[in-house]
Chain A
Amino acid sequence: MTGGRALALHLGVAAVLGVLQFVLPPFHHGMVTRILFFSTYAMAYNLLFGYAGLLSLGHAMFFAAGMYGAGLPVYYLGMGSGSAFLLGLGSGLLLAAAVGAASLRASGSAFPVVTMMFGQVSYLLTLHFNWITFADQGLVLVDRLLPLHLGPWSVPLTDPAVRYVLAWGLFTVVLWVSLWIVRSPFGRILVALREHEERARMMGYDPFRYRWVAVCLSGGVAGAAGAAYALSFGYVGNAFASILYSIYPLLWVLLGGAGTTLGPLVGVLLMTYAVDVVSGFTSAYLVVVGLALVLVTLGFPQGILGRVRARWWRWLP
């Protein structure tokens, strides 16, 4: 059964990533931690871009909403990390609900432009409220962050081993959620709207309603990724609200394969290591990475896993 194969693959990937933490040398341990956080963010993006077919150019605002939503209460109010995480997730979700309602009302092709506009407004707000956010200097949470109390244990979130477990746990949960969603009737509706909006509409699916739910989901997950990142690295900075972090998820997803559940991981993995290798040779590493990306997307317009699915594994979700 095809569902079984897909399930086994995803279980295997999650298991391998879980085991890696015990064998990786410190440098790569840190790299993979980051990769897992960003893959979670990329999966949020992929849900909207890959499955619902909506190109957002302002997704950094949701990631940053999660960061600030979690980080500010910790910094100023000494809030516990569990509640701070939920607050971060909620911030991403709420912002997405508002931005989604506004940008989906705009007709068709305006969505990327309107999301970019909101993304820039969000970035400018972090500058404007410099006295709260300390803008690009950022807020260091490390000495204000209380350890997470789990029964008799108290867990310091910024410990590298704990950080990896957090990143892996969130990644696995979101991987499962997205696998579930894309195989659900709701996922089928999103894809139908992507493929032929009018046909799907005249099949009884109101495009606005389902796309809005997709934006909310994507914003919520992006917020969760941002919150977890802020809490486990103990740092909140407005670089994560900048346009670069709206473009990154698009590149990751394009590279790995839009509309494949594991594409985001593949994209983040390759690009993070590519940046690392190239930046060893030149400071203009973004130029090199950009060129490589152009070549890859010309060669594999469906991304790596999209190509794999078209050629070999038709069952890949």
Chain B
Amino acid sequence: MAVAAVRETLDRTPLLETVGLRRTFGGLVALDDVHLRIFHGEIRGLIGPNGAGKSTLAGLIAGRHKPTAGRILLEGRDITRRSGPERVLLGIAMAFQIPAVFGNLTVFENVAAAAQRVLLRRPLDFLDLRARRLAERVAEVLERVGLQDARDELARHLPYGHQRLVEIAMVLALKPRLVILDEPTQGLAPDEVAQLTALVRDLSPEATVLLIEHNLPVVLDVSHRVTVMEGGRIFFEGTPAEVEADPGVQRVYLGAGG
């Protein structure tokens, strides 16, 4: 089983590690002393009530914000000072909580903007890139998320669920090693949730996934391990079965109103 494979890697260097991560906004401590280790190929669920610091943690890992204190390591290498764009090139890519697409561009152009990032190596590539290779790569990713028929639509004309898929396609087109998904099933219809769950499951073990999700059945179904946060701290970590059985987790969730 995949869990066993993950167990095996536990003593190796994690793909991503945060050490004593802290982030404050003014006087508010959003995140405090967070030690998180995510291993190669695993799907890691991240749950917790609103305001637990999940999105803040994701933003710090992706490089959207700077931590107040602490370090972030990618395969043992300190990337705390690397900017967001630099981290993308190192293999960390993130889909936002509110889908962010380039509304006035076609679905193809949206995904091409991401796909070209990994093809741009020499300065001259910025002026002229082999169009065929780019188109193939885009087609491949669109097929994977099931949007091949929407290729020439303007992104802003797509329904909400499809915009989400466009953003996930953009993330995949970056060929990331660590994919961060911030509440990907939010606002989706049940059949779309099922499609997305299958998609996420499919990402591993090629890529590693950090999945922030409110939909508990989805997280417990798809994750190898689950980290539970509360009040800016990591509160529990274990397999989906352990999370389900833990009375503390139950209390946090029930206490938060569901």
Contact = CB atoms under 8 A, between A and B. Distances in A.
Nearest to A195: B102
Nearest to B123: A186
Nearest to B117: A204
Nearest to B170: A203
A205 interface: yes
A198 B100 contact: yes
Q: Of residues B85, B86, B96, B105, which shows the largest number of chain A Cβ atoms within 10 Å of its Cβ?
A: B85
B123 to A, nearest CB: 10
A205 B105 contact: no
Contact of B93 (A181, A184, A189, A202): A202
A204 B89 contact: yes
Interface in B104-122: 104-105, 109, 112-114, 116-117, 119-120
Given A186-B126, A186-B127, A191-B105, A200 B113 contact: yes
Contacts of B105: 191-192, 195
A311 interface: no
B96 A199 contact: yes
A4 interface: no
B154 to A, nearest CB: 9
B9 interface: no
B116 A188 contact: yes
Counting contact residues on chain B (CB < 8 A from A), the size range is 20 to 34
Contact of B100 (A181, A189, A199): A199
Contacts of A199: 96, 100-102, 167, 170
Interface string A174-197: 000000110011101101100110
A107 to B, nearest CB: 16
A203 B113 contact: yes
Given A185-B125, A186-B126, A189-B113, A196 B102 contact: yes
A310 B126 CA distance: 27
A5 interface: no
B128 interface: yes
A276 interface: no
A205 B101 CA distance: 15
Contacts of A204: 85-86, 88-89, 117, 174
Q: Of residues B109, B114, B125, B129, which shows the largest number of chain A Cβ atoms within 10 Å of its Cβ?
A: B114
A202 B109 contact: no
Interface string B139-172: 0000000000000000000000000000100100
A284 to B, nearest CB: 37
B200 interface: no
A136 interface: no
B83 interface: yes
Interface in A27-59: none
Interface string B11-45: 00000000000000000000000000000000000
Contacts of B129: 184-185
A149 interface: no
A315 to B, nearest CB: 11
A206 B102 contact: no
B241 to A, nearest CB: 34
B109 A188 contact: yes
A105 interface: no
A201 interface: yes
Interface in A93-108: none
Contacts of B101: 196, 199
Contacts of B174: 203-204
A205 B85 contact: yes
A105 to B, nearest CB: 15
B46 interface: no
Contacts of A198: 64, 96, 100
A311 to B, nearest CB: 14
A202 B103 CA distance: 16
Given A202-B94, A203-B174, 9 more contacts: A180-B127, A184-B126, A185-B120, A191-B113, A196-B103, A201-B85, A203-B113, A203-B170, A206-B83
15 contacts: A185-B126, A191-B102, A192-B105, A195-B105, A196-B102, A199-B170, A200-B102, A201-B84, A201-B85, A202-B62, A202-B85, A203-B174, A204-B85, A204-B86, A206-B85
Interface of B: 62-64, 83-86, 88-89, 93-94, 96, 100-105, 109, 112-114, 116-117, 119-120, 125-129, 167, 170, 174
